[in-house]
Chains A and B, each alone.
Chain A
Amino acid sequence: MTPFLIKLWENIKIAIRALVQSKMRTVLTTIGIIIGVLTVVSVASIIEGLNRGFANQIANLGSNALYVQKYPWASMEDFSKFRNRPNVILKEADFIRERMRLAEAVSPSTGTRQDIRSRGKTLNGISVNGVTNNYDVVTGLVIEEGRFFSFAEIERDKNNVVIGWEIKENLFENRNVLGEKIKIGTTNYTVIGVTEKRGNFLGQSLDAEVYVPLGTVFKNFGWHRSISIAVKVTDATRVDEARDELRFLMRLARKLKPTDEDNFSINQQDVLMDMYNKLTGGLYTAAIGIGTLSLLVGGIGIMNIMLVSVTERRKEIGIRMALGAKRKVITFQFIVESIIICGVGGVIAIILSYLVSIIISKITPFPSAVPAWSVFMGLGFSALIGLFFGIYPASKAARLNPIECLRYE
């Protein structure tokens, strides 16, 4: 080892020894930093969790899909205004399918909530989706067992059902389900397929859903309902053009006069993405503000304690200088102390933030995940804080006059 490395290592040991010798002071100072880093990392993990859940979910809608619906997904206006709009109906879907040039697929769907029964077991309020044969293609639904609906089944409003992974788990466990009967509402359906596991989103299972032919929903649960028409655009770069075409066709189908407002909404993933980005953008800004503030408070705590420590240890500083410690060595010793306090605080905070993340995902509907970058950011930040708020006290220590320090009792 070179003399330089020996000095470096000894200085680190000196700093550690000093910290161990005044445990209470070290612990209290560390807490300040822990709170700061914990805030930053926890908020980051909530946002990351939202990103993984929400953003992926939105992305699943597909960037080249348009949805004709009665209500808009996001609006500044009063929603009651949209209640008087006419329902979107199946005929309009056919109208679009026949005429739209930029549509690769047109898939109408609707939904209701019903109780499901099989062999004495009941599941309450399950989401029942009425769909057509290309629904799986348009929405990216993956079938794990069996198959999706054929064109003929849809045409004949067959009482067949494709069930979510969780429904199968709850009603049939490991037994074979294909060909089994389940009761939705008051009608029996034959299971023809099971969808792949998709997981949770905002506390709701995406696997506790069932799919039946669209017409079956009308037939069994009533005709008076608005549908959603999903339109998959042929070319992702021509979505805007397709949107115009779709709007034109809908106005045509509803025979609207040029002066009439649209009485339908064309929804698109962008809107949700925008809303989501705005929401999390605000969250990020708030988080960075709160985090910075608490790190600042922690940092000032460090500086305060270090300044007190420098005053308390004047004698020690004088002794070290008399024995040949250069000013930069003294500076280094105190900065290392400060960085160690903050570094240890950072590590503890990150361990705690994992726990917080687990608790958050247990007791709230928000998914939560500690992102790797926030770990590095937390550690880096706390070390930087240690450095930044350690520099002033350390340089103050190094500027002391050794003779005065030695005289000090």
Chain B
Amino acid sequence: MESLIELKDIVKTYKVGSVEVHALRGVNLTIQPNEYISIMGPSGSGKSTLMNIIGCLDTPTSGRYELEDVPVHEMDDNQLAEIRNRKIGFVFQTFNLLPRANALHNVELPLIYSGVHATRRKALAEAAIEKVGLSDRKSHKPSELSGGQRQRVAIARALVNNPSLILADEPTGNLDSATGDEIMQVFKDLHAAGNTVVLITHEKEIAEQANRIVYIRDGNIADDVRI
């Protein structure tokens, strides 16, 4: 396997009425396994659009996308769901936990959709919660957790299926700076443990914690810096 992700001439155009919005205008990007990469750019530059395409939540209007040498751009809905389930771990700005389910159940969700047996599922979910240091809160509901703890649960959920890639869209956007730092430490640890992490942010200090920063402007990659 050469690279984990290869994006070639990715174009994403939204049609709003008769107006065309060019969210991505031909992005070329290659990500190697175990990279820690930040994607930076001003609001509306296309960061989230790019992340949704990398995360297989969305498909490009044109261009090629290979994930672990598999052409993802040719896949149908079901195959994309399977890729999301097995290869991608999402962390969102707003956590996106199921409000009525406890932490453990939230973490188990991806395993449910891959059909893992209940006992094994519970063990894996507990291990993932352990990794983010929340073992004592596993039966709490999201409303009974602080923002930082919620984001840890979300990270545990992203980890639990042992994905090829962890994708985080402004994971500290809803947190104060101290809690944000804690969460960034979790990502650092995950990277150190061999995970590939793609982090989207518009804060320079956050972006600089990665090994590589990709700058996006107006749907194009403006700069690609290795630190």
Task: Enumerate chain A interface residues (CB-CB to B < 8 A).
Answer: 1-4, 6-7, 10, 14, 17, 21, 315-316, 318-329, 402-403, 406, 409
A-contacting residues, B42-62, CB 8 Å: 52, 55, 57-58
In the complex, the answer to whether B90 meets A3 with C-beta atoms within 8 Å is no
- Interface residue from B52, B84, B112 paired with A7 (Cβ < 8 Å): B112
- Interface residue from A1, A21, A319, A329 paired with B96 (Cβ < 8 Å): A319
A242 to B82, CA, bound (A): 80
Type the 1/0 row for B81-99, where 1 means its CB is closer than 8 Å to any CB of A. Answer: 1101110001010101110
In the complex, the answer to whether B81 meets A6 with C-beta atoms within 8 Å is no
Given A323-B109, A324-B81, A324-B82, verify A406-B115 contact (CB < 8 Å): no
Residues of A within 8 A of B81 (CB): 321, 324-327
In the complex, the answer to whether B84 meets A323 with C-beta atoms within 8 Å is yes
CB pairs A–B below 8 angstroms (25 shown): A1-B117, A2-B115, A3-B116, A6-B115, A6-B117, A7-B113, A14-B112, A17-B100, A319-B96, A319-B98, A320-B113, A322-B84, A322-B90, A323-B84, A323-B157, A324-B81, A324-B84, A324-B86, A326-B77, A326-B81, A326-B113, A327-B81, A329-B113, A403-B52, A409-B94
Q: Does B177 interact with chain A (Cβ within 8 Å)?
A: no
Q: Does B78 interact with chain A (Cβ within 8 Å)?
A: yes
A3 to B111, CA, bound (A): 10
B36 to chain A minimum Cβ distance, whole angstroms, is 22
In the complex, the answer to whether A324 meets B78 with C-beta atoms within 8 Å is no
In the complex, the answer to whether B85 meets A324 with C-beta atoms within 8 Å is yes
Q: Does B114 interact with chain A (Cβ within 8 Å)?
A: yes
In the complex, the answer to whether B96 meets A326 with C-beta atoms within 8 Å is no
Residues of A within 8 A of B123 (CB): none
A6 to B115, CA, bound (A): 6
A-contacting residues, B97-146, CB 8 Å: 97-98, 100-101, 109-110, 112-118
In the complex, the answer to whether A322 meets B112 with C-beta atoms within 8 Å is no
B122 to chain A minimum Cβ distance, whole angstroms, is 13
A320 to B85, CA, bound (A): 10
Residues of A within 8 A of B84 (CB): 321-324
Residues of A within 8 A of B161 (CB): 324
In the complex, the answer to whether A316 meets B113 with C-beta atoms within 8 Å is no
A360 to chain B minimum Cβ distance, whole angstroms, is 43
In the complex, the answer to whether B115 meets A322 with C-beta atoms within 8 Å is no
Residues of A within 8 A of B86 (CB): 324
In the complex, the answer to whether B112 meets A316 with C-beta atoms within 8 Å is no
In the complex, the answer to whether A406 meets B92 with C-beta atoms within 8 Å is yes
Residues of A within 8 A of B109 (CB): 319-320, 323
Residues of A within 8 A of B118 (CB): 6
A329 to B86, CA, bound (A): 16
A406 to B113, CA, bound (A): 18
In the complex, the answer to whether B85 meets A323 with C-beta atoms within 8 Å is yes
- Among A17, A320, A322, A409, residue most surrounded by chain B Cβ atoms (within 10 Å): A322
Residues of B within 8 A of A323 (CB): 84-85, 90, 109-110, 113, 157
Type the 1/0 row for B149-164, where 1 means its CB is closer than 8 Å to any CB of A. Answer: 0000000010001000
- Among A14, A21, A319, residue most surrounded by chain B Cβ atoms (within 10 Å): A319
- Interface residue from A10, A21, A321 paired with B100 (Cβ < 8 Å): A21
- Among B96, B157, B161, residue most surrounded by chain A Cβ atoms (within 10 Å): B96
Residues of A within 8 A of B110 (CB): 323-324
8 more contacts with CB within 8 A, not counting A1-B117, A7-B112, are A6-B118, A7-B113, A21-B100, A319-B96, A322-B96, A323-B90, A323-B113, A323-B157
In the complex, the answer to whether B113 meets A327 with C-beta atoms within 8 Å is no
A408 to chain B minimum Cβ distance, whole angstroms, is 10
A3 to B101, CA, bound (A): 22
Residues of A within 8 A of B114 (CB): 3, 324
A4 to B114, CA, bound (A): 9
A189 to B90, CA, bound (A): 98
A327 to B82, CA, bound (A): 11
Given A326-B78, A406-B92, verify A6-B52 contact (CB < 8 Å): no
A402 to B113, CA, bound (A): 16
In the complex, the answer to whether B113 meets A325 with C-beta atoms within 8 Å is yes
A379 to B112, CA, bound (A): 30
In the complex, the answer to whether B98 meets A316 with C-beta atoms within 8 Å is yes
In the complex, the answer to whether B77 meets A327 with C-beta atoms within 8 Å is yes
A14 to B100, CA, bound (A): 11
Residues of B within 8 A of A409 (CB): 94
- Among B90, B94, B115, residue most surrounded by chain A Cβ atoms (within 10 Å): B115
A316 to B101, CA, bound (A): 11
4 shortest A-B CB distances, which residue pairs?
Answer: A324-B85, A3-B115, A324-B113, A326-B81
B119 to chain A minimum Cβ distance, whole angstroms, is 11
A150 to B212, CA, bound (A): 117
A316 to B90, CA, bound (A): 15
A-contacting residues, B165-198, CB 8 Å: none
Residues of A within 8 A of B100 (CB): 17, 21
A400 to chain B minimum Cβ distance, whole angstroms, is 12
A14 to B109, CA, bound (A): 10
Residues of B within 8 A of A319 (CB): 96-98, 109
A321 to B86, CA, bound (A): 13
Residues of A within 8 A of B85 (CB): 323-324
In the complex, the answer to whether A403 meets B57 with C-beta atoms within 8 Å is yes
A21 to B101, CA, bound (A): 10
Type the 1/0 row for B52-82, where 1 means its CB is closer than 8 Å to any CB of A. Answer: 1001011000000000000000000110011
- Among A3, A4, A6, residue most surrounded by chain B Cβ atoms (within 10 Å): A6
Residues of A within 8 A of B157 (CB): 323
